[in-house]
Structure 1
């Protein structure tokens, strides 16, 4: 049902990150009022949430900022602690 509109919805969310699921549904209703009604709000909410999470992962993992962070070992040297202490209970 939403697949043909997925690219359009993602573009709306990228262009207006504060756009609510209700706003997305309103736009979809303007495009196709027979297919989309107020009853679709929960599904649109779930889809918008999932797509926003996808976008956040792209920003976090592919944004390059994580590569600029010092490694745990370098941080341990700077602070005088062991690498295992920096990583908590995660051992390398």
Structure 2
């Protein structure tokens, strides 16, 4: 059985080319995990809301790819759910990822 993951991707994070980064991440993850890609296409989309939607859809894991704000918001929304958090740091400082 293939695991499913909600992949919350913030293209506004970091200084790299977000399109190329998404392609590379998908190439690594998709052979093993069925990804439901949830991009933060505008600054008004809330990663907490995307995480709650993923929980309702029954995601096995939620992967946050972005900066500290994106990762922290997703982590907070997952507290108490038992759903694992994956982190692919793509921010400028990545303080959260460095600490864990």
Same fold (TM over 0.5): no
Q: Which structure features the higher share of strand residues? A: 2
Choose between structure 1 and 2: higher helix proportion: 1
